Structure 1
Amino acid sequence: MDRPHTPHTRNPPGEDHDQHLIERIFEGILWNSRYFVLLGVVFGALSAIVLFIAGSSEIVTVLTEFLRLSENHLSHEEILIDVIGAIDFYLIGLVLLIFSFGIYELFISELDVARKKGDFGSILEVSSLDDLKNKIIKVIIMVLIVSFFQRILSMEFTTSMDMLAMAASIGIICIGVYFLGRH
């Protein structure tokens, strides 16, 4: 005996004889529209590559300036600021890679190549959008901390209040990182 198809009852998998042709076509189009996610995957990965190249270029520039024996030799602070800027590029590149891997795994398919080789790390394993969001948020917080550190290095401290504000800022960041690590 056939049961009537209503929006609240579902047929078992493979049994769609009650489903209208238009409904099947619409659901097929809707389901396949998830492949538009590939645009985010591809361009996220390409953006990550660009950022890794930019960070590496920054390091090469610092290295060549450091090794050049000229009057315009880089100071230790300038070297640190530039290297931290490169780290910023790398971290943002990591955010984009994690995003690309995560949305690919959530919407398209698991990364079989990584799983077969056993190279699949927990950083890239994403089981839900919340999991992806949490991983990305942690890296973004690290980017903000590195950017803050870079800004601190280039600041001029003229009063004791400047030093106190810097110390308080660092203390607040340490507390935040502590609580982030507990989550």
Structure 2
Amino acid sequence: MNFIEKIFESTLWQGRLLILLAVIFGMVGALVLFVVASLDIYHVATYTINVLTSHSHPENFHEKIVGEIIGAVDLYLIAVVMLLFSFGLYELFISKIDIAEKSESSGILKIKDLDQLKDKLAKVIVMVLIVSFFKRVINMQYNTPLEMLYFAISIFALAIGLYFLHKGSQQH
């Protein structure tokens, strides 16, 4: 029975290497998002240069540029989520990243346990949601005082949520 148990445990332990699929494809997803967001910024820059050199000023020019840039920031943040996810899974299930341990850069990618990974991911996801909210709000038309009140309440709710998110991270 001891021999069978050793084979089973060895197979089970090696099964953790399946996590490498999530790590690799998470990194690929992050790379794709970084490229797409960068191309979006490039297109906004070329569009802006074309508009400025043609001496025309299209309707909603500023809103369009700001909306596109905010969309790119949103993609960058989602790419960061994918990076954190990949690094965290690798460190938790496969091995510590030696080069990261020796690096003098920020320790944001150092993950000690699953709760810390979830906490970091949740914070970035909240920021993604805030940026998405901002992108939608920037293009809205406010026709009544009640709509402006709803807008103010939503901004207040976001501010309170960020306050508690920040307050919670200082306690750890």
Per the normalisation by structure 2, the TM-score is 0.91
Which of 38, 42, 54 matches 1:60? 42
- Give the CA RMSD over aligned residues: 1.3
Cα drift, residue 29 of structure 1: 0.3
Cα drift, residue 115 of structure 1: 1.9
Matched, 1:26 2:12: no
Cα contact 2:23–2:87 (8 A) shared by 1: yes
Matched, 1:144 2:129: yes
Larger mean Cα displacement after TM superposition, 32-41 or 70-79: 70-79
Cα drift, residue 72 of structure 1: 7.1
Greater gyration radius: 1
Q: How many residues align?
A: 164
Amino acid at match of 2:87: F
Which of 173, 179, 182 matches 2:158? 173
Which residue of the partner structure matches residue 108 of structure 1? 94
Cα drift, residue 94 of structure 1: 0.2
Give CA-to-partner distance per residue, 1:103-132, whole Å, 9 cap, x none. 10000111112223433x221111110000
Cα contact 2:100–2:110 (8 A) shared by 1: no
Identity %: 48
SS at match of 2:108: coil
Gaps in structure 1 of 5+ consecutive residues: 1-18
Per the normalisation by structure 1, the TM-score is 0.86
Cα distance between partner residues in 1 of 2:66 and 2:167: 30
More helix by share: 2
Give CA-to-partner distance per residue, 1:142-168, whole Å, 9 cap, x none. 000000000001111111111110010
SS at match of 2:109: coil
Cα distance between partner residues in 2 of 1:21 and 1:72: 78
